[in-house]
Structure 1
């Protein structure tokens, strides 16, 4: 395949971008009939259509509708892909740090991310050259600048995803019409990070706050979302990553410069509480992802990827693949839904036993059986329950695998904790403002028990450890934890800790001395009540979950009318170390980065494969 052919193939993809639909129905537009830059950017409505085409590349199975959300972030010390690993070319190879270059679950998202970058590059070149941008009315200039800022932000998001998964990826910043050589080698990730961080500074000055342009909602970039994205990317740039040249996890000497960027951006967002703040009810952060009823007047959800259309291109499989488990034939599922992502068994016990409401929102400790009743699940079968088919409008008659559940990219709780982390790192100890930010998140989690939140360490190491723990509890199942642990250089440490905890769980020792060997239950009604109540009403022998799952087995045989369920005896050495279902058996630091897809290297032989593949 020659260079000229590749260049024109790339151009053809870009010139087709005016035919795309939106990521949400209310964003639908009529496509212009021509794709020339003069026409594409000759009106604000046509420019908006181009931007929707860029947003479109966040969506679908190869975007945040499945692979980028449910496959790439597994595993850490919160969740893993369900089932047994067999080979590196299937989806479980990703979760087991054993993916091979021929894994199609890597290549298709890679292709889609670069397609998004190409579309963004097209907009970034031609919007500032348009007549409306340079000499339109004041209103037209403002609108076109907003679109330009969105394009810069979208390109940064696409690159951020590539960088955190592959490291030194080829970086293209020219419009496809200007690309002289599509065969470029790996680009130093620091240079790419620096470029997109600078781009986001430009973008945030062009895009309004949410309250200034409320029609954008949470589905398009507003100023707060761009600032939050810039903070997140700055912390990634300032964090550790595997470097082939040093054959080690390395953090650059200038890392504090990027922590300062993160702190400043988060502080600015925190000073605009009229735009974004904490939703007072943790569960209500996630329900709006499932329905048009928002439940989020505080606008904690700052940016989410919309899903619609019940198809692989624009919708999501969240809830079908990743979510609370519903058996086929129940009132909620004509075919089984959920269960593709499982909690690490010890994760349930990281939360306060009785006070932290996040546990029962985050972890599906029960499933809905074919009789539409609620039954507890094995500790190895607990699921991510921030996503639930029962929170959607889809009933048991639907055989669709797409439930139009959006994916949360950024929320205000992350801003508070990024601020607290950056402040502590910069100052060598947490300020009063950093402590307050951490405690704000904790108090929401301990609703009704606010005066009993954990004591806060005031030294640098102690406070950092509190941030590490709090982010585990707050963001489980949201595709954040693995990347946090990588940038802190804690991934290997947490795998070792998790294996140790699982052995204690298995042997009823240490902190797990009081967990039961076996529990007994009767199927009970699923009431769609608040999550804490839902878990509290699982019908266990001997009391509710907060009692039974934290005390030794009291019955010597299965009580009449009850069904037994293995608990600590469900944990075996296979769950800890086996190649099929152990805790990250293939992990070495180099494999915190994915292999470059084999097809991508065939298409661009200048790409150098990542170490260990």
Structure 2
């Protein structure tokens, strides 16, 4: 007997039970794991912009820092599309879960909290890449014509979502890869740093630090960093919020390693495109990087392919057992990030580095040299006399985050937040960064249909 199966479910008949709402929340992660997104091309784009990396092939145009060519504009349009698809999925949960007829109030708050965390995170990426964007929420997600909101309006939604999320998310994530209240506090710290609300950033970071939920992973040799980034590592004491990937099924594979490795290098058996690369001598960032720093040894390997015998590729994400895709997770937020934000925020609040800020920086720095991060070490530790001014201290933190976050898609946003893009790229690469290069263009796929956005007046400068 033929048993008919429904091919779709009307939203009005869904989001009623815990299982249905959880399925809806999970859907908010799916678009951003795509190869065009955190799965590969989004962090590749951000890494190409940094002072320590160069792009090959279609990414080579980004090395000029004069804005985007048509190929890269198409890539950013895809990124825009997938972020909004994920936001739409979060909006469905936020709008429908409170009306579920077979789910308790406690579960509703927990899942809506997670959906609002996810919505805030994706809008945070949108606002840093495009500035003001259309705000699509549970109240207008069916509207095509939505005006471009200001940066301030976008950030207000982000903060409101995260304040709700930190109150309603659980102390322990519902499963690996889901956020906790501590994830929300960490994201709030990042947001407050970008808003230059340093007292709020300092206090929020301190809440996470004082929770004693997290600690830096100890390393004694370079390969110990595999405990943080390895394909077979499910979690660590440093993980605050990671995007989870797996070798199977194919919908969850991590393809970033395919874009950074060389074929037959041994680090990624399916092969590689070596889309981004660096140079251990010609690139001043790498040349000046202390080779006793275990992060340098962990991150880079020599590979010649016609660009000189000092060419190096990045190996932060290695999966020697990959068949069709990698199993490494993507570190959105880890404890080292939080410690360095706390160090900067604490110093800014006091208008100078103090013992607390210095210790937070030193923990990360000690670990980089194989020392116990919790124990002072005269051979590695900075002192207050190491820095002549607040500016010197903050510059060191920016550099430390550069060393710490190679291949994590974070450093370009750091440079933008600190207004260091043009001076840094000029100093390390000898390139003048065009103002238009600091933002991506509002996609034509948006303004062709959204008549509330004027393709001229509402476009970012230079496009």
Q: TM-score, normalised by structure 2?
A: 0.87
What displacement does 1:32 show? 9.6
Residue 120 (structure 2) aligns with: 156
Task: State whether structure 2 residue 205 is matched by structure 1 residue 208.
Answer: no
Conserved? CA contact 2:16–2:99, under 8 Å = no
Residue 153 (structure 2) aligns with: 191
Residue 389 (structure 1) aligns with: 319
Bigger mean CA offset, 482-491 vs 312-321: 312-321
Residue 378 (structure 2) aligns with: 451
Conserved? CA contact 1:32–1:40, under 8 Å = no
SS of residue paired to 1:268:
helix
SS of residue paired to 1:278:
coil
Residues 333, 59 of structure 1: CA spacing in aligned structure 2 closer, same or farther, 3 A cutoff?
closer
What displacement does 1:130 show? 2.5
SS of residue paired to 1:321:
helix
Aligned mate of 1:470, from 397, 400, 413: 400
SS of residue paired to 2:168:
coil
Task: State whether structure 2 residue 19 is matched by structure 1 residue 60.
Answer: no
SS of residue paired to 2:332:
strand
SS of residue paired to 1:262:
helix
Conserved? CA contact 1:320–1:389, under 8 Å = no
What displacement does 1:387 show? 1.3
For residues 160 and 429 of structure 1, the distance between their equivalents in structure 2, rounded to whole angstroms, comes to 29
- CA RMSD, aligned part only? 2.8
Residues 219-276 of structure 1 show CA distances to partners (whole Å, capped at 9, x for unaligned) of 11111111111111221233xxxxxxxxxxxxxxxxxxx2222111110110122x21
Residues 99, 45 of structure 1: CA spacing in aligned structure 2 closer, same or farther, 3 A cutoff?
same
For residues 341 and 266 of structure 2, the distance between their equivalents in structure 1, rounded to whole angstroms, comes to 41
Conserved? CA contact 1:73–1:483, under 8 Å = no
Aligned mate of 2:74, from 104, 109, 118: 104
Residues 466, 51 of structure 1: CA spacing in aligned structure 2 closer, same or farther, 3 A cutoff?
same
What displacement does 1:599 show? 2.5
Residue 378 (structure 1) aligns with: 309
Residue 117 (structure 1) aligns with: 87
What displacement does 1:321 show? 0.5
Q: TM-score, normalised by structure 1?
A: 0.66
Residues 333, 384 of structure 1: CA spacing in aligned structure 2 closer, same or farther, 3 A cutoff?
closer
Task: State whether structure 2 residue 218 is matched by structure 1 residue 280.
Answer: yes
Task: State whether structure 2 residue 248 is matched by structure 1 residue 318.
Answer: no
Residue 440 (structure 2) aligns with: 594
Residue 207 (structure 2) aligns with: 268
Aligned mate of 1:603, from 449, 458, 462: 449
Task: State whether structure 2 residue 25 is matched by structure 1 residue 51.
Answer: yes
What displacement does 1:62 show? 2.1
Larger Rg: 1
Task: State whether structure 2 residue 277 is matched by structure 1 residue 342.
Answer: yes
Equivalenced residues, count: 440
* Residue ranges of structure 2 left out of the alignment (5+ in a row): none
Bigger mean CA offset, 311-320 vs 65-74: 311-320
